[in-house]
Structure 1
Amino acid sequence: MGTHSTDHSHTDWKRNGVKVIRGDALDDNTPQTPGMYRQAAIDKARVGAQKIWAGTVSIAPDAKTGVHHHGELESVIYVLSGRARMRWGEHLEYVAEAGPGDFIFVPPFVPHQEINAEPNETLECILMRSGNDAVVVNIEGVEPVEKPEEVYWIDPIHAHPDTA
């Protein structure tokens, strides 16, 4: 084992150590999208995380987002149940599906659309991002292959298109 140069002899490990977040204690005070229900487990506010965000997302049957990207953030989606369809590219020309046990990696700045591929089943996923900020950049001018049903990311920095 190597040594580390930082002196932690005065660190309060009880308060600044490992944290367990119970599945029934997730925080839904997160940006919400119609058709998607997000809950934070790990973030700066809850546990002091500086470089990651993790939580759950439940996506209603047949729900589709608009075309967007997440800036410099890397995202990982782990499918618990249901079927996820991802479209990506300048014109959403690429498509892949993922099912239970599959991981999806979304690199920084990749234009994409998230879709629940099942018309009658909720898609349940674990979502992890490489930062704490809710960065969503809606992309105008790209015609989605699968039209969203008025599913928009709406938060203090992203207004609904009808109010922009």
Structure 2
Amino acid sequence: MHSDPHHPHDHDHDHPSPSDGAPRWKHDGVQVIAGDRLDPNTAQTPGMFRQAAINHARVGAQKIWAGTVAIEPDAKTGVHHHGALESVIFVVRGRARMRWGERLEFVAEAGPGDFIYVPPYVPHQEINASPDQPLECVLVRSDNEAVVVNITDIEPVERPETVLWIDPIHRP
């Protein structure tokens, strides 16, 4: 109970009650989104299946987006960034490879239980590092807006071990 006599606090006064008399936060408070009730009506990339769990349309979220992505073996995104948004990727199953930088010159991998942080404006590419297993992740972004800025003037380069060298005479 609030004990400041200058600011008495009635727990219902800031929360108008719906017609059943219950405090508004009873109906507009915590929400559980069942894993089998995710919304596929979100941006899709070939070889990937994204589903929204938390966004403005579903739960009224103002400053966050969360969902899942399933990435087919060997699939990858084009090079892109998410503007001012911050992103977190949690790897549930499989092996993720992230390339980033102005020429995708940096690479890191993550496995089940690992978190990946992608800062604002960082050009990056998400890759399923497995040739035969799907990659399943949870995504969280710092805003509801689906900001994706595709970068077409970077030629994505695969990891060096996949192409040891290129014979200049016998180029593919």
> Under TM normalisation by the shorter chain, which class is it?
0.7 to 0.9
RMSD over aligned Cα, in angstroms? 2.3
Q: Which residue of 2 aligns with 1:10?
A: 16
Matches within 5 A, 1:33-112: 33-112=45-124
State the AA in 1 paired with 2:14. Answer: H
8 A contact 1:75–1:130 mirrored in 2: yes
- Aligned-residue sequence identity (percent) comes to 72
Secondary structure, counterpart of 1:118 in structure 2 = coil
- Distance in 1 (alpha carbons) for counterparts of 2:79 and 2:40: 23
8 A contact 1:57–1:125 mirrored in 2: yes
State the AA in 2 paired with 1:38. Answer: R
The unaligned stretches of length 5 or more in structure 1 are 148-164
**Deviation of the 1:141 alpha carbon:** 1.1
8 A contact 1:64–1:146 mirrored in 2: no
Secondary structure, counterpart of 1:14 in structure 2 = helix
Report the TM-score when normalising by structure 2: 0.80
Q: Which residue of 2 aligns with 1:155?
A: none
The aligned length equals 147
**Deviation of the 1:146 alpha carbon:** 2.9
**Deviation of the 1:73 alpha carbon:** 0.4
Q: Which residue of 1 aligns with 2:140?
A: 128
- Distance in 1 (alpha carbons) for counterparts of 2:46 and 2:54: 22
Equivalent of 1:28 in 34, 37, 40: 40
- Distance in 1 (alpha carbons) for counterparts of 2:114 and 2:75: 19
**Deviation of the 1:14 alpha carbon:** 2.1
8 A contact 2:15–2:25 mirrored in 1: no
